[in-house]
Amino acid sequence: MGQYETKDIRNVAFVGHGASGKTSLVEGILFKAGATKRLGCVDEGTSISDFDSEEKKRKTTIDSSVLHCNWQGKEITVIDTPGYPDFISGSISSLNAVETAIIVIAATSGIQVNTQKMWDIAGDAGLARVIVITKMDGDNVDFPALLDSIQNAFGEECLPLMLPVGHGSGFNGVVDIFNLPEEVPADVIGDVDECREKFLEGIVCVCDETMEKYLDGQEIEIEKLHGCFTTAVASGSVVPILCCDNKKGIGIEEIVDVISKYTPSPEKGLARKSVGMEGDEVATEEKDVEVSKNAPFSAQVFKSITDPFVGKLSFFRVYSGELKHHQEVYNVRAKKNEKIGHMFKTFGKEQQEVDGAIPGDIVTISKIEDISVSDTLCDPHAKVKFKDIKFPNPMASLAIEPKSSGAEQKISETLHRLVDEDSTFKVSRDVQTHELVVTGMSNLHLDVILSRLKSRYGIDVESRQPKIPHKETITTKASAQYKHKKQTGGKGQYGEVYLRIEPLERGGGFQFVSKIVGGAIPSQYIPAVEKGLRETIAKGILSNNPIVDVKVELYDGTFHNVDSSEAAFKVAASKAFHLAFDDAKPVLLEPVVNIEVTIPSEFMGEITGNLSSRRGRVQGMDSFGDLQVIQASIPMEEVKNYETELKSMTGGRGSYTMALSHYDVVPSHLVPLIIAQAKKETEKADK
């Protein structure tokens, strides 16, 4: 174990929109702190953080990466996270493991969709927040305007701690207004005295005694101010704004200084809560976790990967107690003890073995298969549980099948390994369409997953849009009779049934009622009638989709002492149902989803118009900040490719969520197309 205590630990996650410079900033910090010998570069594929082959190929962060360095006696764990919403699971899980979110904003592009999202998630979690503005050397950078937009979007508590000296290609330094230099450069941008006064007012607000002194104009000891600064950041009363240029390395040292001096340690940061347990059941109310080496051990898993050389790696954050080699811990979800073997601190793709962990440490263990993201690990004699990490529902789906025959078993196993690594990736088999469906945050997300399936496991797949699971039903009552009679030399076949059918309310399923009296059909054949009906409704009649919401009444029939059989009554029931169904004004049903679209206000008219043109019905609207939220009900068929189109209409600034609402009748002009497609598929399958 390193020579440090919990009070010396700083855990920070770098979050923000894609291409805001997070990874380059992390590289700069590691280099400045002496943790690396050379400055890695994303574009050249030499970044310590973006080490995965997909990340190098695409020049963007796909997975979170855990790194660490030491600065002025503080042990800093740095998590670099993905910036695009397509890969949001890595950002959400990382925020669960830290005390501080560093929100990174590029001076050249300002606040974007994921900047807002990460700000909200970090705030809702109760984390301390620091804003870093990168790319200060960019063209047309307007620092005062950027400050205004940050304060308008995120609040007046966002206060500049650093002011830039020069801008654009002339950016050549920063002025720390908390620790003012004796001589302030002439070309500093902003009013140093006014900014310093606002900043000091912001931090003394959290300490009554210091605030009184400040208002009385008394001198305040620098240590007192430092204490107020740390408290103000931890409580969210002040969000310091820093600025830098990664290429020139300007402002990087000041950023590491702020992290080490003013962001909270695990002892001073967000108080974690756990729920006690009785036996294997969650029992008592939430309690604050005691951040102490002497408390019982507790931790939560926030990341999992499969390394081709080391096997499964599970990353967890220790909240209380100590963990040593060969110690037994209890996995609350799996309801079993696991023995901890080797323990590591990771540095990008490298693992550095450690002999133990203390509260605040983020460590990795290998080769324990039954361990998943969100799992609570704890002392077997003091069981507790942490809340599961919440991830958004994935929206984009593809039906896939392996190109080579015989890979069906292998594909299922390997896809579930990828599910273990990414909580926003899901795999299911559609019981109605019999397709293997993968679902992710976007088409890009799925593209990366399928690319990994090929590069890591050698499985190449074909993909297509999943079939929409239509259903069939009737809209009026009808009746029919059918006699099945065949004579073929030996024993014949005979069965006659009389049926009445009527529609049930939506969601009513299938009901079968026998009203046979006086032995018109012997009781042993009635189950065969029901079986024949169930087989027919499962296959469908119009479009090979199941028939739902129908009641069938068997009210009469005839039989033959010798020739009647279960098989004959099954056929008679199926044929009679076909006849009645055709007379009962059958319709097709389609799934309808509730969709919630979040967009910048300027796209409001275009998006509502587009939803209406897709048979959508706008149900409500809401707004927060500059963003509008549109709630609508829309057929699933109409939003198969919505993710791509929304990106295109909003320049990548729109996002959406959706959930199945109900089934509704397909408009009559669309029905022939669906029936023709079903016929085509049947013919193809028969060949």
195 with 67, same domain: the answer is yes
List CB contacts of 556: < 8 A, sequence separation 6 or more.
481, 497, 498, 516, 520
Q: What type of residue is 264?
A: P
Looking at residues 12-17, what average pLDDT do you find?
A: 96
Is residue 267 a part of any domain in this protein?
Answer: no
Q: Is the four-CA dihedral 283, 286, 287, 292 of positive or negative sign?
A: positive
Query: Which letter does DSSP use for residue 404 in this model?
Result: S
Cα dist from 555 to 489, 517, 525, 622, whole Å: 31, 8, 14, 55
292 with 278, same domain: the answer is yes
CB 285 within 8 A of CB 325: no
Q: Is the four-CA dihedral 416, 441, 346, 270 of positive or negative sign?
A: negative
* Greatest CA separation for the chain: 116
Report how far Cα 318 is from the mean position of its chain's Cα atoms.
Answer: 23
Query: Which letter does DSSP use for residue 245 in this model?
Result: B
511 with 428, same domain: the answer is no
170 with 70, same domain: the answer is yes
In this predicted structure, the answer to whether residue 661 has a pLDDT above a threshold of 70 is yes
58 with 176, same domain: the answer is yes
Most confident of 308-312, 583-587, 596-600: 583-587
State the DSSP string of 419-487: HHH-TT-EEEE-TTT--EEEEESSHHHHHHHHHHHHHHH---EEEEPPPP--EEE-SS-EEEEEEEEE-
pLDDT tens digits, residue range 74-85? 999 999 999 988
Q: What type of residue is 653?
A: R
The CATH number assigned to the domain holding 495 equals: 3.30.230.10
Residue 687 pLDDT: 65
- Residue 131 tokens read as 């804003």
Give which of 565, 574, 561, 581 is closest to 477, Cα–Cα.
Answer: 581
Residue 625 pLDDT: 62
d(CA 618, CA 538): 34
Is residue 682 a part of any domain in this protein?
Answer: no
d(CA 534, CA 222): 81
Percent of the chain with pLDDT over 90: 68
Residue 1 pLDDT: 43
Phi, psi (rounded to 5 degrees) for 107: -60, -25
The CATH number assigned to the domain holding 611 equals: 3.30.70.240
580 with 528, same domain: the answer is yes
Looking at residues 10-32, what average pLDDT do you find?
A: 94
Q: Give the residue from 418, 439, 464 where a domain finishes.
A: 464
CB 544 within 8 A of CB 487: no
Q: Give the residue from 332, 350, 380 where a domain finishes.
A: 380
The span from the first CA to the last CA of the chain, in angstroms, equals: 67
Burial class (CB in 10 A: 0-12, 13-18, 19+), 507: exposed
Mapped to the 3 state alphabet, what secondary structure does 8-32 carry?
HEEEEEEEECCCCCHHHHHHHHHHH
Say what angle helices 222-235 and 208-215 make with each other, to 10 degrees.
120
In this predicted structure, the answer to whether residue 284 has a pLDDT above a threshold of 80 is no
Residue 54 pLDDT: 74
Confidence of residue 472 (pLDDT cuts 50, 70, 90): very high
Q: What type of residue is 610?
A: N
Q: What type of residue is 35?
A: A
Burial class (CB in 10 A: 0-12, 13-18, 19+), 582: middle
Mapping DSSP to helix (H, G, I), strand (E, B) and coil, where does residue 662 land?
strand
Q: Give the residue from 444, 464, 484 where a domain finishes.
A: 464
More confident position, 625 or 212? 212
Residue 679 CB: number of other CB atoms within 10 A? 12
Residue 335 CB: number of other CB atoms within 10 A? 10
607 with 483, same domain: the answer is no
Burial class (CB in 10 A: 0-12, 13-18, 19+), 281: exposed
Burial class (CB in 10 A: 0-12, 13-18, 19+), 685: exposed
The CATH number assigned to the domain holding 248 equals: 3.40.50.300
State the DSSP string of 254-306: HHHHHHHHHSPPTTTSPPPEEEEEETTEEEEEEEE---STTSPPEEEEEEEEE
Mapping DSSP to helix (H, G, I), strand (E, B) and coil, where does residue 170 land?
helix
Residue 666 CB: number of other CB atoms within 10 A? 21
CB 511 within 8 A of CB 504: yes
CB 575 within 8 A of CB 496: no
560 with 593, same domain: the answer is no
Is residue 686 a part of any domain in this protein?
Answer: no
Query: Which letter does DSSP use for residue 638 in this model?
Result: G
Residue 514 CB: number of other CB atoms within 10 A? 15
d(CA 270, CA 249): 31
501 with 553, same domain: the answer is yes
pLDDT tens digits, residue range 201-233? 999 988 888 888 878 878 788 888 899 999 999
Residue with tokens 């954050």: 317
Mapping DSSP to helix (H, G, I), strand (E, B) and coil, where does residue 309 land?
coil
314 with 453, same domain: the answer is no
Is residue 514 a part of any domain in this protein?
Answer: yes
Pairing state of beta strands 298-307 and 311-320? antiparallel
d(CA 377, CA 215): 49
In this predicted structure, the answer to whether residue 598 has a pLDDT above a threshold of 80 is yes
d(CA 384, CA 267): 19
Host domain of residue 423: 396-464
Is pTM beyond 0.95? Reply is no
Where helices occur in 11-159 by DSSP H, the ranges are 22-32, 53-58, 88-95, 113-125, 143-154
- Residue 374 tokens read as 């969100």
- In the predicted model, what is the mean pLDDT of the chain? 91
Mapping DSSP to helix (H, G, I), strand (E, B) and coil, where does residue 593 land?
strand
Is residue 543 a part of any domain in this protein?
Answer: yes
Is residue 478 a part of any domain in this protein?
Answer: yes
157 with 29, same domain: the answer is yes
d(CA 181, CA 683): 81
Is residue 212 a part of any domain in this protein?
Answer: no
Give which of 581, 605, 590, 584 is closest to 663, Cα–Cα.
Answer: 590
Domain count, the chain: 5
Residue 577 pLDDT: 98
Is residue 29 a part of any domain in this protein?
Answer: yes
Mapping DSSP to helix (H, G, I), strand (E, B) and coil, where does residue 641 land?
coil
15 with 36, same domain: the answer is yes
The CATH number assigned to the domain holding 402 equals: 3.30.70.870
Give which of 381, 326, 291 is closest to 11, Cα–Cα.
Answer: 291
